[in-house]
């Protein structure tokens, strides 16, 4: 997973390419992704959902991961450092 200085509101609605999708009565946390932060976030979301509605029955859970390419362009012209 790449890190960027691009504000998250600019990429929040990007669709990207489907990397993983699962739909079951219960989904397990992702624990085999190369980035530990994704694994940790997945565990936290599954745990939060399972405890958020203690008096409700969970019928189905869906997990979808999308990937997308993000370009970070830096121009060095001797006068300043510009990012786009």
Of the candidates 56, 50, 73, which has an alpha carbon nearest to the alpha carbon of residue 4? Answer: 73
> What's the number of CA atoms in the CB half-sphere (13 Å) around residue 50?
11
Let me know: does 84 contact 75? Beta carbons within 8 Å.
yes
Distance CA 43, CA 32 (A): 12
Per-residue pLDDT tens digits for 12-69:
788 888 988 999 998 999 888 888 988 998 899 999 988 998 898 889 989 888 888 8
Contacts of 43 (CB under 8 A, 6+ apart): 29, 31
Question: What local confidence, expressed as pLDDT, does residue 81 receive?
Answer: 61
pLDDT band at 83 (very low <50, low <70, confident <90, very high): low
Who wins on pLDDT, 51 or 9? 51
Instruction: Give the global pTM.
Output: 0.62
Distance CA 49, CA 30 (A): 14
């Amino acid at each position: 997973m790449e890190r960027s200085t691009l504000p998250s509101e600019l990429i929040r609605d990007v669709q990207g390419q489907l990397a993983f999708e699962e739909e079951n009565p219960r989904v397990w946390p992702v624990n085999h992704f190369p980035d530990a932060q994704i694994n940790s976030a997945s565990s936290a979301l599954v745990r939060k959902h399972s405890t958020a509605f203690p008096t409700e029955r969970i019928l189905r859970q869906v997990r979808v991961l999308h990937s997308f390419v993000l370009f970070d362009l830096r121009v060095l012209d001797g006068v300043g450092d510009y990012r786009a």
